[in-house]
Every structure is written in structure tokens, then in C-alpha cells.
Amino acid sequence: MLEVLTPQTQKIIDDFLKHYKPISHRAYISAISNLFYVLGKDDASKLDIEDFKKVQEYFRNKERYGSQDKYCESFFKYIYAYNIIKNPKGFEKIWIKSNLINHFERLLNSVPEKVEYKPSLTIEQIYEIEELMNLEHEDNLEMLKMAFCWYMLFHTDCGVNELKSTDATKYNNNILKTNNGEYYVPEKFAPLLNHLKESKYPGFNVNGIITKLGKLVEIEGLIPQIIKNSRNENILKCSQCGNMYTNTIDNWQAVNKRIICINCADKLKKNSNLKVEPIISQNIEGMSIKDDINISSIIYTFDELRKKLSPEFDYLKLHKFQMEIGKLGEAYVYDLERKNLAGTKYQDMVDNTPAKNPSNGYDILSYDRNGNELYIEVKTEASNENDFYITANELCTARQLQSEGKKYLIYRVHNILAKDKNDITVDVIDNIINNKEYKLMPHIYLLQNRNGQSCKKNSPVLQL
């Protein structure tokens, strides 16, 4: 109906609606459309006091009385207050213009600005987490904990507090009982839950586990409630049966170009001639997370990494091989630290995600048995050499942490490729800045054009 009005009148109506919440716009538009229909006019500027009286009389007829007359009255107040009406005579007897203007200004200030929608987790973030969680983690309990908490929060109706309040002792035959009900748990989580049953801490440190997952996939501020919110955002209601399912295509089919759940689609396929078709997935190619060397020491255990590593290489692959050696050492030290803290609450707090970002200046955040933080930089080799390289950033980090009274340690891992793990040795170097057994030797220089900054030393080597 509004399209038959003059363009200027349509703009006036748009400006008027900005004073009200979007949920009420349809009601106002309906009332204003009826207003112009009853009056037989199309220009708001040509309305007058007689038109207002006529509309009031029309809407206050017993059969038509409702809220529309109030909506129309508000529109008349607006066009009078802002001098849109060319013939305002008569309105001044019933309304005070300054009061109306104050009223509409208050309304405008009370309407919240439209906020751009942002999902709790993007499709790309969900894909990356799902790919990581679907990897085989049979021997990596830390990764299994992350995958389990993700499954419970994203793939089931289990609430955050509900998951926090239960523990592995309530698990049996693929069923986990909580205060609110029972949930099916896939078989791949059985080793984890059975292990936790026998441990001193059978519960789930949900906040800590999800925080670590966030660091691993580089989602800043990831907390359990964000995952729960994302599940709710990715749930669809079947219009046929009313049940709720996640928006993955294995839950849905197209019936005569309309989407319904797969259960309803199967019933219709059997009982009618309607055309049922699968939904085609549009796959987006991307690097597989399992091939990302930077996180290999985090998502795989030492034994898993050693199986994947082959010493057969050509020189073109030398750099990659050296990186793999480094990640192998990080995985070994991570396992070692967790074993050293067995029986304490600090075992599950050992964090190997700093290794993802070299700018951190250390690879692992661990603890001693009294809970004091240990910042560990891992240096790994396949032989028994004494000398090793340390970056300027690592030295800077060591100085900063030591000035704050914190422990910065270098774990020197030797013989990482030994067939017998018992032949692998680790030297722990404390206070690398003033260590009497080691001295810093400048090794690499950065050369710059004379028009740029002066050259500077980088990447010193530590010699015994």
C-alpha cells in the first residue's frame, strides 16, 4: 500500500518509524496505510485537522476500534511537530508542539541501534575445531578431554554447569549420567573416561580444557558458554515434526525444494509421491590441520610423532625435517612434565600451546610440585652436541621473566631419534643469562642497505 504514496511521504514514514522498535513497525505501517486509504490521499503534507477528525471517527467505530487509531494519532503528532503539514491550523488547540518534539526525541534515543550480527563461532572456526577433534587421539588424553568437552557442549543438549557437575564415575557403557539426564557418548571417548574413573580427579575442568582448546585453534577468549551459544545458533527446527537438529546436511533432505529433517523425509518418501533429494555440500578447500607442523607437538603424543617421522629426506626437505625434530622434542618434554606432576592438580595445567607462536619466547608453561611456574624453552637434537642456538627473542623473554622472579628453563633434549626411549636424555639449564657453564657467542648478523637502519646481531649461539 505504501508504494502508491508520494516518494516524499514514503521517506516521512521511514523517518517516523525510526522512533519505534522494529518489532512494532508492521503495526504502524498497517495503520498508516489504512489512514491514507480512508482519506483517499497520497501526500502527508496535505493532511489537515479535518482529516485527523475523520480518521479518529473511522477507527473509533465499535467494529474497528483497537490500537490502530493510536498509531494514526502518533503519526499526525509527528507530521505536525516537525512542520510537515502545510495547513496546521487547529492542531495547536489540542497539542503543544514543543512537548511533541521532546516526546519524539526521547523515543529516538530509547531505540537501540541496529547491531551487526556476529556468530559466536564462524563456520571456519567450527570446521577447524571439528577437524581437530575428529583426529585419532587414542593415546593423547589431553586432546581427548578437549574433544569430549567439545562433543558434550556442541553436539548434545548438556549444559555448561551440568557438565561441570558430573564426572567419569557416572559413565558406563557409552552412557554418561548427569543431574539432568543421560547422554550417549561415542566409543572413542571410552579410554579417557575409564582412565579418569581410576584417577584422583575424575571430574572435568571444563573452563581450563576449553581455554586450552581456544589457544590451540587461536580463538581468543573461547569459553564453554560460547560453544553452547554456537550450538544454539546452529540448530534448526523441522517444520514438519517440530524437532530440533544441528544444521549439518546429514540431518536434512530437500522435499519439493523445501528442507525438512531426514526422518520426516523418509516418511514422506514412503507414503507419498513427493520428490525427496539429498542436499549437496559445497566444500571449501583448505590446509588440513593435521598437516600443520606448528601444532604437531600439541595434537600428537611423542610416540605418535615418532611413528610419523622418517629420517629419510633430501636437502629440499631439510628445514621441514628440522622443524619436525623440534616438535618431537616438545612433545617429549610435555609428556615428561606431566609425568613429573602426576598425582597433583598441576598435571592437567601443563600448557604446550605457547609453542605455536615463536614470539612467546618459550614452548611450554609447566609447574614444580609446589605450583611455581616454569617457563620452558625446548632445544632438541638427534645427537649429543653441546652447542645450540637461541634467538634474541628467547633471550629477551628469559631476561624479562628472571627480572620478575620467575623461572626460565632450557630443556636440552639429546638423541631424540633413539630407537630406545631410555637413550633419550634431557639437560635442564637454569639461569641462562648468567650460567657459568655456557657463554653467548654472536653468530648471525642482519645486513641492511646503507640507506636503512644499521645492521644488528641476531640469533646468538650458546657454547659450553
Over residues 266-312, the pLDDT tens digits come to 888 777 777 777 777 665 554 454 555 555 555 566 666 666 665 55
Domain annotation covers residue 404: yes
- Mean pLDDT for 373-385 is 88
Cell numbers standing for residue 408: 626460565
- Mean pLDDT for 388-415 is 89
DSSP notation for 403-452: HTT-EEEEEEEE-TT-SSGGG-EEEEEE-GGG-TT-EEE--EEE---TTS
pLDDT at 359: 85
Residues 147 and 247 in one domain: yes
Model confidence at 432: pLDDT above 50: yes
177: helix, strand or coil: strand
pLDDT at 313: 47
pLDDT at 375: 95
Model confidence at 102: pLDDT above 80: yes
- Asked whether the whole model's pTM tops 0.85, one would answer no
Nearest residue to 384 via CA among 344, 337, 426, 429: 426
Type of residue at 348: D
In angstroms, the CA 169 to CA 204 distance is 11
Q: pLDDT tens across 129-177, in order?
A: 988 888 776 778 888 999 999 999 999 999 999 999 999 999 999 999 9
pLDDT at 111: 66
pLDDT at 287: 45
Model confidence at 5: pLDDT above 80: yes
pLDDT at 6: 92
Domain annotation covers residue 174: yes
Residues 347 and 433 in one domain: yes
Nearest residue to 180 via CA among 156, 204, 159: 159
Q: Which of 110, 131, 147 is the last residue of a domain?
A: 110
pLDDT at 249: 82
Domain count, the chain: 3
- Measured over all CA atoms, what is the biggest interatomic distance in the chain, rounded to whole angstroms? 101
Domain annotation covers residue 348: yes
Residues 314 and 390 in one domain: yes
Determine which of 98-112, 298-312, 325-339, 366-380 has the lowest per-residue pLDDT on average.
298-312
Summarize the chain as % helix, strand, coil (round to 5): 50, 15, 35
* Domain limits for position 335: 292-463
pLDDT at 84: 95
Residues 176 and 97 in one domain: no
Residues 73 and 129 in one domain: no
Residues 318 and 442 in one domain: yes
233-237, 352-356, 434-438: which is most confident: 233-237
Q: Which of 218, 252, 278 is the last residue of a domain?
A: 278
Residues 29 and 102 in one domain: yes
The answer to whether the CB of 80 falls within 8 A of the CB of 74 is no
Q: pLDDT tens across 311-348, in order?
A: 554 545 655 667 788 888 888 999 999 999 988 989 98
Continuous H helices in 300-344: 302-308, 318-340
In angstroms, the CA 79 to CA 357 distance is 61
Determine which of 195-204, 212-221, 266-275, 429-438 has the lowest per-residue pLDDT on average.
266-275
Type of residue at 24: S
Q: Which of 249, 278, 307 is the last residue of a domain?
A: 278
Q: pLDDT tens across 179-199, in order?
A: 888 999 999 999 999 989 888
Identify the band that residue 76 occupies on the pLDDT scale cut at 50, 70 and 90.
very high
Identify the band that residue 256 occupies on the pLDDT scale cut at 50, 70 and 90.
confident
What mean pLDDT value characterizes the chain? 83
